[in-house]
Structure 1
Amino acid sequence: MTPAARPAPAALTPAVLLCLGLVYVVWGSTYFGIKVAIETLPPLGMLAARFVVAGALLLAVLRWRGAPWPTAREWGASALVGTLLLGGGTGLVTLAERDASSSVAAMIIAVSPLFAALFGRLWGERTGGREWLGIGVGLAGIALLNVGELRATPLAALLLILAPICWTFGSQWSRRLPLPAGLMGSAAEMLTGGAVLLALSVLLGERWGTPSAASLWALLYLTVFGSLVAYSAYMYLVAHTRPALATSYAYVNPVVAVLLGVGFGGERLGALGWVALGVILAGVLLVAWPRRTSDGPPAEGAA
């Protein structure tokens, strides 16, 4: 969608709130799901299966309901977005989780709103003062949460920094690209991104062994909820809300990831960690709180 055709970001409508809830909770749990899946499945191959299956199912349903087939130009734009978001974003996170806990992965990814605001400014979008404050508060919470025993290896930390750069740049660029309308865009991005991941898996020589039942259940959860449900909800947020709000999931995901890690993964969290979670939620509130009516509607290209 071109800047001239892009609608002004929506307020906190019921649809936006529902999509935020799905992205907050479901994507927070996918970090733990990825950790379980790659215990016996190849990381990139697992992701390729996840996204190709999810994309094919969604495409089939949409075509059955009469949605038009994407044009060649739309397929090309979808491939760009799918490669950046799913190949660079999710792919790097999954590779990093071989040497990092699910909690650490979610915590480092919390820099996403900062990158989103910076990339948004490249296209003339505006980030308000309260949003910058919320980003700063959220990052301070992440710093507190990362104090202690929850750490990653240097290589895993590097991959986890590169992942949100790919993800947020792709998200911002997607708002200006001629993507297929509605959920067809999500289907095309998952299919093309999955194809890229499959090619990388083959080039890197990944091999499939005998997966455990837990890994297969995790893959099923990631495919249905992480891809079909949450990814589609996220792309709705990208198209209808300002960048800081669309990426505010990065502050809530660590909360969900840490709770799952503590409850099911054997990780421990001290008093400072729980304080950090409160700080993170305060940052989310500052970012997500609606702008004042007196500010007027955002100008064209503003966010």
Structure 2
Amino acid sequence: MTPAARTARLTPAVLLALALVYVVWGSTYFGIKVAIGSLPPLGMLGVRFLLAGALLYGFLRWRGAPAPSPREWRASAVVGLLLLGGGTGLVTLAERDASSSVAAMMIAVSPLFAALFARLWGERTGGREWLGIGVGLVGILLLNLGELHATPLAAFLLILAPLCWTFGSMWSRHLPLPGGLMGSAAEMLAGGGLLLLLSLGLREHWAAPTAASLWALAYLTVFGSLVAYSAYMYLVAHTRPALATSYAYVNPVVAVLLGVGLGGESLSGLGWTALGVILAGVVLVAWPRPVPTSGGQVGAEAARSEG
């Protein structure tokens, strides 16, 4: 099977990876809210990613995987800083002053930003995708009018987070990262170390954590990082940008249901409308394109997808 055929079809591996990022990452917004109830935001993330990265790195080295080269460590640090520090880190900071439901809804614009950033590396954005971007921005406007009850800083962080995440995701396709799961391990180690250093530099306050925060941290480490993050990086390397970020279809729904059902959060009619408009824009962006049949076009698309 050619690389183009693999990227154009929903293989079992791609379907499994999608299912993991859809469901698991949808639950992590509520998990973050619980974890930072008694743990410092950046410090919690630093510990989370360092633990997950160390476990995965140790397992892979035990299985005989080669250690990353200095060049690969530098690339992993860049991706880890953008995705884990800029993406997850900013969301975690924002959740001190915003609900997990609203945070997930804001992150739903990730496929829209991915379509924009993909153009930096020569990937075409079609008319339907531009329409989807416009529809998604209307949804964000509705969300800000009706549901974004947060401080100006939290609102800014929730807009900046998906920009960092999607830019890092698109750039990672063109960086010399370690192969396979070793890339995820190196990114989590580098990103976790940077987050922990930032936490110490900002003198975040550490106190005795509650049992609920520790259980949430364990869940985020194992499922949110080891499992789902590795699945996401597989999608980034093997699928179109819009499909790789299509977890935004389901994540907000899962997060809203958990936030409302378990966290005592609420959502107004305008909030549900905003969620529907955002998801409609995402669907327009991520809807599969027709697969070209000419050899040159297929080869070019494959090269971009495998980059």
Would you call these one fold, judging by a TM-score over 0.5? yes
Aligned residue in 1 for 2:64: 66
Unaligned runs of 5+ in 2: none
Which stretch of structure 1 is more off in the superposition, 122-131 or 281-290? 281-290
Paired with 1:215 and 1:62, the residues of 2 have a C-alpha distance of 29
What amino acid sits opposite 1:179 in the alignment?
A: L
| Structure 1 segment 1-303 matched on structure 2, within 5 A | 8=4, 9-145=7-143, 147-294=145-292, 297=298, 299-300=300-301, 302=304
Paired with 2:230 and 2:169, the residues of 1 have a C-alpha distance of 13
Unaligned runs of 5+ in 1: 1-6
TM-score (norm 1): 0.90
Deviation at 1:143, TM superposition (A): 4.4
What amino acid sits opposite 1:120 in the alignment?
A: A
TM-superposition CA deviations, 1:234-281 (whole Å, max 9, x none): 101111111111112234221111111110111223444444444444
Q: Is the Cα contact below 8 Å between 1:115 and 1:165 reproduced in 2? A: yes
Paired with 1:99 and 1:204, the residues of 2 have a C-alpha distance of 18
What amino acid sits opposite 1:213 in the alignment?
A: A
Q: Is the Cα contact below 8 Å between 1:83 and 1:192 reproduced in 2? A: yes
Q: Is the Cα contact below 8 Å between 2:8 and 2:291 reproduced in 1? A: no
TM-superposition CA deviations, 1:200-243 (whole Å, max 9, x none): 01100012201001100100110011101110111011111111
Deviation at 1:289, TM superposition (A): 3.3
TM-superposition CA deviations, 1:108-134 (whole Å, max 9, x none): 122222221121111111123333334
Aligned residue in 2 for 1:4: none
TM-superposition CA deviations, 1:162-190 (whole Å, max 9, x none): 11111111111111111000000000000
Q: Is the Cα contact below 8 Å between 1:70 and 1:180 reproduced in 2? A: yes
Instruction: Determine which structure has the larger helix proportion and give its number.
Output: 2
Paired with 1:149 and 1:178, the residues of 2 have a C-alpha distance of 41
Which stretch of structure 1 is more off in the superposition, 106-115 or 36-45? 106-115
- Partner SS, residue 124 of structure 2: coil
Paired with 2:13 and 2:155, the residues of 1 have a C-alpha distance of 34
Q: Is the Cα contact below 8 Å between 2:45 and 2:195 reproduced in 1? A: yes
Cα distance change of structure 1 residues 80 and 258 upon mapping to structure 2, 3 Å threshold: same
Deviation at 1:55, TM superposition (A): 0.3
Paired with 1:298 and 1:169, the residues of 2 have a C-alpha distance of 24
Aligned-residue RMSD, C-alpha: 2.1
Paired with 1:193 and 1:294, the residues of 2 have a C-alpha distance of 38
- Partner SS, residue 125 of structure 2: coil
Paired with 2:272 and 2:220, the residues of 1 have a C-alpha distance of 27
What amino acid sits opposite 2:170 in the alignment?
A: Q
Paired with 1:130 and 1:12, the residues of 2 have a C-alpha distance of 21
Q: Is the Cα contact below 8 Å between 2:133 and 2:285 reproduced in 1? A: yes
Q: Is the Cα contact below 8 Å between 1:27 and 1:226 reproduced in 2? A: yes
Deviation at 1:58, TM superposition (A): 0.5
Count of matched residue positions in the alignment of Structure 1 and Structure 2: 297
- Partner SS, residue 109 of structure 2: helix
TM-score (norm 2): 0.89
Paired with 2:225 and 2:56, the residues of 1 have a C-alpha distance of 10
Cα distance change of structure 1 residues 22 and 133 upon mapping to structure 2, 3 Å threshold: farther
Q: Is the Cα contact below 8 Å between 2:109 and 2:278 reproduced in 1? A: no
- Partner SS, residue 299 of structure 1: helix
Paired with 1:43 and 1:214, the residues of 2 have a C-alpha distance of 15
Paired with 2:257 and 2:170, the residues of 1 have a C-alpha distance of 30
What amino acid sits opposite 1:97 in the alignment?
A: E
